[in-house]
Structure 1
Amino acid sequence: MLTNREQLIFNWIKEQPSITQKEIAERAGISRSSVSVHISNLTAKGAILGRRYILSERPYIIVIGAANVDIAGRPDSLIISGDSNPGKVTMSFGGVGRNAAHNLALLESDVRLLTAFGDDYRARELKEGCIKNGIDIDPSVTVPGASTSTYLFIMDHNGEMQEAINDMQIYENITPERIEERLDIIQHAAVCVVDTNLPQQTLEFIAKTVSCPIFCDPVSSIKARKLKKILGRIHTLKPNRLEAEALSGITITDDASLKKAAETLLEKGIKRVFISLGEQGLYCASHEKKVKLPLLPAKIVNMTGAGDAMMAGITWAYTQGMTLEQTGQVGQAASSIAIEGLETINPKLNTQEVLKRAGL
């Protein structure tokens, strides 16, 4: 038999499974320590399983990382530096974490996103876009008074990014304390995907406390340095050539040095490494096997979402129990579909098309 207070808290948890103890305390007008006692009682009585209520029966993926508003400029012809170039300017939703989550949703995954939103009009649009596209944002943080993360980039007329500016200070609010408050939902995920837009101390806390497989996109050679102390806790890493060099200390100039870089990363404790080589394809490596896959043909329209789609494809393939090579093929297929769309996320991405293009 639940007390009136326990029943009230139970109902709140049922409505919002990732509600934090702090939020419950504020609603109930009681101390956080009192909430902790009520949660313990509910757990002891078998009403809930931990602070995140009854776990989803369907395996889910949690993505912890960036969600931005992307502003992109693309000239109609060869760009002239230092001049005003006629072209197109578009605004869309982006961010490494959000993009990976969106692609995972297109691949029919149950996906949760833990990011930091501002409280401006862009944040409202960003949240609505996530929900509309099948992304559960319940674990995310809203920061009062903060501006939504914005990413401004310029492409050349072929769709290749040339310059970019990011305003991402808001992610400093994804602290170890915020992660700890949401630890139950993270621990019970099939996979935890992170990107290095997170603060270093947060990445290190996740590596230390999270027991489910951690997949990581290094994002850039500079941000990749945040991972050096925790490589042994990462299950799957998807770097490009520069990021792999930064993390392995090996300059990649040929197949031999490529293999050496991958082996160095594996020796640090990583289970699987997928090194994106641009036009030269994808190098897939584990302790048991290494294979270099050629680039899949595609009509390039917009390259900006290629890496995020590959990350999603690799993650989805893992949850389907695929082999190393099959996982790489799926990652490449997802990436090739992504770059054929006008926007960062290609709505034509789906499991059937990915498997067909991957030849599986």
Structure 2
Amino acid sequence: MDLKPKITVVGSINMDIVTITDQLPKMGETLIGNQFKMNPGGKGANQAVAAARLGADVRMIGCVGNDSFGPLLKQNLQNEGINVTDVEPVTDSTGTATIVVYDGDNSIIIVPGANQHVTAAFVESKRDVIADSDVLILQLEIPLEAVQKAAEIAKEHGVKVILNPAPIRKLPRELIEKINYLTPNEHEYTLLQQGLDEKELKEKVILTKGSAGVAFYQGEKEVSIPAYPVKVVDTTGAGDSFNGGFAVALSKGHSVSEACRYGNAVAALSTTKLGAQTGMPTNEEAEAFIKGMEG
């Protein structure tokens, strides 16, 4: 009997174009950087890879372009053991993220490209895939109409929904009502609070705070789950790693506290290597890490 959790990700698929530098240029200034890399990315694809590495049965729903990046990114997902039947090529450029890594942190510019073709109608055509999932993971690098449609289908079929609200934008209350867990960082949470019911948000929010760990509410009581200390090389993809880990733990029936602890371990390990997907650990690595830190 296959007990692998079924996780579906509806989201972005990008090529990350990474420059590592010791200094950030001022406007109009040209500098010599240290290193250049191209890595598979996109918040959707990153979260799919994170969940797949941790042993989940993952299906990706999204679009790639008809350029040279498209087939490479689709093949990369397949190599990770992800079902890519619902990743479709469109006549557009593949999504890109230009990332500048400086002093262990990063700045990012995204060009959506093919990700804009993930429409409500496209998602509706994948209804059966979403309905057959244990957990649905969503982000905001695709059109909001697609996010809303995916959440609507999941709620109709009793599928748990995790929304990572990044990059942040104003969200309609009807969408929040269909979400089980929201995973913003502190900046995103501040913006989310504008115009939304704080009590309702508190019931759903898993607040990621980087090196300060994760916080959520149980009733009126705030619960904090500390981060694991590691030597940070690159924070790109840490939030995506947390979401993948959190989703896998939840889908296995763990409590929110346990899922946050596991997600923290996955995120911590991901920051010890360069690149979003390249640093993501396996379940064995995450469990050995937790055992080593807590044992």
Same fold? TM cut 0.5: yes
Q: 1 CA distance for matches of 2:221 and 2:60?
A: 32
Q: Does 1:210 align with 2:154?
A: yes
Match of 1:215, SS state, is strand
Say if 2:58 and 2:82, in contact at 8 Å, map to a contact too: yes
Say if 2:163 and 2:182, in contact at 8 Å, map to a contact too: yes
In structure 2, which of residues 225, 237, 252 is the aligned counterpart of residue 293 of structure 1?
225
**In the alignment, which residue of structure 1 is the partner of 2:112?**
168
Q: Which moved more, 1:85-94 or 1:208-217?
A: 208-217
Q: 2 CA distance for matches of 1:175 and 1:348?
A: 29
Q: 2 CA distance for matches of 1:348 and 1:205?
A: 29
Alpha-carbon offset, residue 87 of structure 1:
0.9
In structure 2, which of residues 150, 155, 180 is the aligned counterpart of residue 235 of structure 1?
180
| Higher-RCO chain (CA-CA 8 Å, sequence separation at least 6) | 2
Q: Which moved more, 1:177-186 or 1:342-351?
A: 342-351
Match of 2:75, SS state, is helix
Alignment of 1:60-99 (within 5 A): 60-75=6-21, 77-81=22-26, 82-99=29-46
Say if 2:50 and 2:277, in contact at 8 Å, map to a contact too: yes
**In the alignment, which residue of structure 1 is the partner of 2:239?**
307
Count of matched residue pairs: 285
Q: Which has the larger radius of gyration?
A: 1
Say if 1:337 and 1:346, in contact at 8 Å, map to a contact too: no
Q: Give CA deviations for 1:51-109 in whole Å, capped at 9, x if unaligned.
A: xxxxx88541100001100001111x243432313310100100001001111111011
In structure 2, which of residues 125, 134, 146 is the aligned counterpart of residue 181 of structure 1?
125
Q: 1 CA distance for matches of 2:214 and 2:94?
A: 34
Structure with a larger share of its residues in strand: 2
Change (3 A) 1:142 1:217: same
In structure 2, which of residues 47, 52, 58 is the aligned counterpart of residue 100 of structure 1?
47
Quote the RMSD (CA, aligned, Å): 2.2
Alpha-carbon offset, residue 147 of structure 1:
0.8
Q: Which runs of 5+ in 2 are unaligned?
A: none
Say if 1:195 and 1:218, in contact at 8 Å, map to a contact too: yes
Alpha-carbon offset, residue 228 of structure 1:
4.2
Q: Give CA deviations for 1:90-130 in whole Å, capped at 9, x if unaligned.
A: 00100001001111111011100001111111101111111
Change (3 A) 1:85 1:228: farther
Say if 1:106 and 1:347, in contact at 8 Å, map to a contact too: no
In structure 2, which of residues 73, 78, 85 is the aligned counterpart of residue 138 of structure 1?
85
> Once the two structures are aligned, what percentage of the paired residues are identical?
24
Match of 1:127, SS state, is helix
Q: 2 CA distance for matches of 1:347 and 1:304?
A: 9
Say if 2:92 and 2:113, in contact at 8 Å, map to a contact too: no
Q: 2 CA distance for matches of 1:355 and 1:136?
A: 25
Say if 1:96 and 1:308, in contact at 8 Å, map to a contact too: yes
Say if 1:228 and 1:247, in contact at 8 Å, map to a contact too: no
Q: 2 CA distance for matches of 1:275 and 1:348?
A: 21
